[in-house]
Structure 1
Amino acid sequence: METRPGACPCGSGLPYDECCGRLHRGEADAPTAEALMRSRYSAFAVGDAAYLLRSWHSSTRPARLRLDPGDRWTGLEVVDTARGGLFDATGTVEFRARYRERGRAATMTERSRFVREDGRWVYLDAEPT
């Protein structure tokens, strides 16, 4: 994957290449469930469907994923986290993601569930909010 200039879409304040870009390129694994959620948001923002599939649990991963190139992800707010730390096996992260779809502002709220698979954090599914 090519490098990208600018701030990371996840809102960390770090350059993309030093933040989620490292995870997207496979140079590092997310240390926490929240870090994985942020990297997945960034993958939506930069259009990296391959990373989204790689970071999805094998039991719930779709066969393919098509991202809408017209969607523009414009902001992320982490609302709550439960577990998902360095020594946990499961975790949840509730967040609000802002985006523009066909020029119209929209917000997605989700409580994502994460688990470790082969020692790495992966996205399992979402609970209703």
Structure 2
Amino acid sequence: MFGRKGLKPGEGSTAHTPQSRAQPENNNIRAGLSAAANYLGCVSPGGAPVFIDDLSEPTRCKGPGGAMGLCFLFTGGNAVAGKAYFFPSFASIWVDGEAGPRAQIPTEMIAARVPAYLAALQGLAR
């Protein structure tokens, strides 16, 4: 009664576009990075655990030794905010108000606890 003519329930005009097929990969990348950021927030020495709710505004950045990576802004519980850095060999977070970034956590250590992390890093490289 309140639908578009000729469409069955659950069908939409964009159901078969290439954009809708690419979305799950982007969601998997975002989920892997979000899980890794939360892991970093819990294991990084340098302050209280940080629980990250959202990663946004990715930008390219250069790390130690000229390694290229991505930096995301994050927000978390208890009104905490900062930056999450992801490089091929390590990742780190920097909470606003702290003197510097927290310890670099090796990629192998993250991948051992966050299985979706390696796939997310590979998705970023594309």
The higher radius of gyration belongs to 2
Q: Which has the higher helix share?
A: 2
Q: Which has the higher strand share?
A: 1
Both proteins in one fold, TM over 0.5: no
